[in-house]
Structure 1
Amino acid sequence: MFRPQLLLLTSDSYRRQREPLGLEDLVAACTVLKSLDGAPQFVIYNGGPTAGASRQHKHLQVLPRPPRLFPDDQNDSKAVPYRYFLRYLHGIDLESAEGRTKLFEIYNGLLAEAKQSLGEDLEDNGYIPHNVALVKEWIVVIPRRNIEVEGVTANTAGMMGSVWLTSEEEMDRWKQVGPKTVLAGLGVPA
């Protein structure tokens, strides 16, 4: 797993991981991204158990940014096996209140697209299972249909290509089922 790994907790212990991100969550994420400017980071959110959340208390994770994530190259034509909703943040000042409000609006728009893509698979209780990855240049929201496929699971980092495994058996299972099959089954197939 990544080291160091930071956990951003809400100040209200009644907030739950099934809830969408709020403006205050994104403000905290932007603050941390700016404060760690010397070492590139990315922020992830596992929106509920279906999206790979392992804890019920609402939190975000801050991880060292891998050298390349698929949204980094706008001209990359490699197919991602699931639907995702991406916005580049060019021209948005994430250090200003106005920029952070704009990011919150963008997130809500992406979340609405994710909700629509889930269609009838969505429970009628307001919970929208989704993953979020945020860097200073872009934000991506990934709708989630399943917590696991053939015994294999992933959180946001896994959906972005950094799968967290605890054993050789888990690695063998990923290889057996196939990463594209797993990722398409966890999300909404592209």
Structure 2
Amino acid sequence: MDQKSLSLLDKIKLVTEKALEKKALHPILTKYQILEQDHIPFLIRMVENLERKDNEKKKQKQQQKKSNTFFNPFLPYDRDLFIDNIGDNHVAILNKFNVFDHHLLIVTREFESQESALNFDDFSALWTVLSNINGLGFYNSGKLSGASQPHKHLQLVPYPLAQEIETIPINNLVLSYKNTDEIVTLKELPFLHSIEFFENNEDKSCEELGQITVEKYERLLERLNIKIKDNKPSQNYNLLITKEWIMMIPRSQEKLNSISINSLGFAGGFLVKNEEQLNLIKNSNLLEILAQVAIKSN
């Protein structure tokens, strides 16, 4: 079958299969458990082997030292991980070191900083993917929010994240606030955040959804007092986007007790590297951990 005629999801499955055969894709094996706290079924994954990813990072650092420039895995991106062109300014590629199956990166063709503001093109590209795949879109806006690469890229992980969780752990809590206010703050979450809901988006084009989303994004920035100067937000933040809502969380630090937290943490998913970190998570209030790396609400 001609690959051009395949659906986006079928392309992802086909490229994944070939990338695994060529050893271009390096899934990070994990085992997981569900930890229920505050009526949220947190998904805790523990890595079985991070050696390959750590070795790759060491190689990148060595290359940077030799060339006196940062190594950019997206320029050029690995052709074996390429899924499709997304509009004029983005490409979709597989995440080389994926914890979740079919984890996508939506990357700008030309270099743009991960710390620059998101725009209409970025959101239109995300909706091009999100309209075809039911999942969680997210953005780590800089180092403090868990970004590991300086080249602008949004991400998407398809549902389900685990067999026991239909979408993401916080989804039911967020949806319980639908039709309450235009911009919502959840009283259950002890950290600064804001949420807006999408209405009747089934019949809208990706461009229309991109425009709606950039307007919501700008309102959330304003509500959270994050200023834009020279196209750069004054603070790192995490952004979660589903087909039903968008949520922004300002960040104050990247990790707590060596546990790195990115957007997936605020969706209710934690990744730990060893038993020590797992025990720390089990003996902690997970919402308080999130509040420590975000900004505690009054």
Shorter-chain TM-score tier: 0.7 to 0.9
Change (3 A) 1:150 1:164: closer
Q: Which moved more, 1:93-102 or 1:139-148?
A: 93-102
Q: Match for 1:159 among 266, 269, 288?
A: 266
Change (3 A) 1:3 1:96: closer
Give the residue type in structure 1 aligned to 2:156: V
1:35 partner SS? coil
Partner of 1:109: 219
In the alignment, does 2:206 pair up with 1:99? Answer: no
Give the residue type in structure 2 aligned to 1:74: Y
Partner of 1:181: 288
Name the structure where strand makes up a greater proportion of residues: 2
Partner Cα distance (1:169, 1:49) in 2: 24
Partner Cα distance (1:11, 1:132) in 2: 21
Q: Once superposed, what is the RMSD of the aligned Cα atoms?
A: 2.4
Superposition deviation, residue 96 in structure 1? 5.0
Q: Match for 1:5 among 103, 109, 123?
A: 103
Q: Equivalent pairs: percent with the same residue?
A: 27
Partner Cα distance (1:164, 1:95) in 2: 35
| 8 A Cα contact 2:124 2:206, kept in partner | no
1:90 partner SS? coil
Partner Cα distance (2:125, 2:277) in 1: 34
Q: Match for 1:20 among 110, 117, 124?
A: 117
Runs of 4 or more consecutive aligned structure 1 residues displaced over 4 Å after TM superposition: none
CA deviations 1:100-156 (Å, max 9, x no partner) are 21211111111222235x9xxxxxx74421001111111111111111223333100
Aligned residues: 179
In the alignment, does 2:180 pair up with 1:73? Answer: no
Superposition deviation, residue 51 in structure 1? 0.5
CA deviations 1:61-104 (Å, max 9, x no partner) are 110234242323327x7711212110001134552533321211
Give the residue type in structure 1 aligned to 2:101: R
| 8 A Cα contact 1:18 1:127, kept in partner | no
TM-score using structure 2 length: 0.55
Please identify the structure whose Cα radius of gyration is greater. Answer: 2
> Where does 1:11-160 land on structure 2 (aligned, <5 Å)?
11-13=109-111, 15-36=112-133, 40-66=134-160, 67=166, 68=168, 69=171, 70-74=173-177, 79-92=188-201, 94-116=204-226, 126-160=233-267
| 8 A Cα contact 1:47 1:53, kept in partner | yes
Give the residue type in structure 2 aligned to 1:81: P
2:239 partner SS? strand
Partner Cα distance (1:179, 1:35) in 2: 32
Q: Which moved more, 1:168-177 or 1:126-135?
A: 168-177
